[in-house]
Homo-oligomer: A and B are copies of this chain.
Amino acid sequence: MTESTNPDVALIIGGGPGISSSCARLFARNGMAVGVAARNPDKPVLQDLEHTHGVRRYACDASEPAAVELLFANVVRDLGNPTLVVHNIDGRVPGIFGKKITEADACMAFDTLRNSAFSAFLVGQQAARVMSENQPNANGAKGTIIFTNASAALKGFPLSGAFAMACHAKAGLAQSMARELMPQGIHVANVPIDAAIGWTRDDGTRAHRRAGTAVDDNMADPDHIAETYLQLHRQHRSTWAFEVVLRPWVEKW
């Protein structure tokens, strides 16, 4: 096979200060051209990423088919064909947790499905389209598609039926895409984070201890999540992992 000699192009969907930012920094430090798409690409955390790591910002409502198609066209034009796409939207909205099924708002349930699962479908579809034109790299891969997920993908917890639906849907999609695309050289992974996720302190370091607890590292550190994503992207196609559940050492499961 003729290997690709082009540099890696990473596209991250979802632009929060947690996993998306950690991925953007790590991928940029490893020589990738990096784009981040968010509904509001002008928020300070993304502007910072542009200044410090040369990350390109894109406005995109990932639950709109035309918007996702346009996003990929723009990224291909600006950075080249993506080789690594991370879908980082879980669609949680205020009130999605802790509401009884009898009292849950139907619109909220619908929006969660659309923002999380349907956007994953749209992003996964466009990623598959552009990656299928890539040449395999040294590890035999045309590209990597990673879906960030939550423990609700593994277990439907009470008082959060809508979130369980959305996370399960995303996991089902990822599994179907993995069975379909891996034999075509595209690596698909589902990564449920079974934990609360840490955040960035003002000095730029990561915090990952729950408030009021004595034990350290009891939240998932997004910098370390990003490391696992990079390792998934670099796995040789003779030994691909589809699902990796990440949780802190003290997490109950």
Task: Pick the most buried of A65, A175, A241: most chain B CB atoms within 10 A of its CB.
Answer: A175
A42 to chain B, nearest CB (A): 27
Task: Using C-beta atoms within 8 Å of the partner chain, give the interface range for chain A.
Answer: 35 or more
- Report if A250 contacts B (CB, 8 A): yes
Q: Which residues of B contact A183 (CB under 8 A)?
A: 249-250
Q: Which residues of B contact A166 (CB under 8 A)?
A: 169, 172
Task: Pick the most buried of A157, A165, A169, A243: most chain B CB atoms within 10 A of its CB.
Answer: A165
Residue from B153, B180, B246 within 8 A of A161 (CB atoms): B180
- What is the count of identical protomers in the complex? 4
- Report if A216 contacts B (CB, 8 A): yes
- Report A's interface with B, CB cutoff 8 A: 1, 65, 100-102, 104, 106-107, 109-110, 113-114, 117-118, 121-122, 124-125, 128-129, 132, 140, 152-153, 155-183, 185, 187, 193, 195, 198, 208, 216-221, 224-225, 227-228, 231, 235-250, 253
Interface pairs (12), CB distance under 8 Å: A101-B124, A104-B125, A106-B122, A155-B175, A156-B176, A156-B179, A168-B173, A179-B253, A208-B238, A220-B238, A227-B235, A228-B241
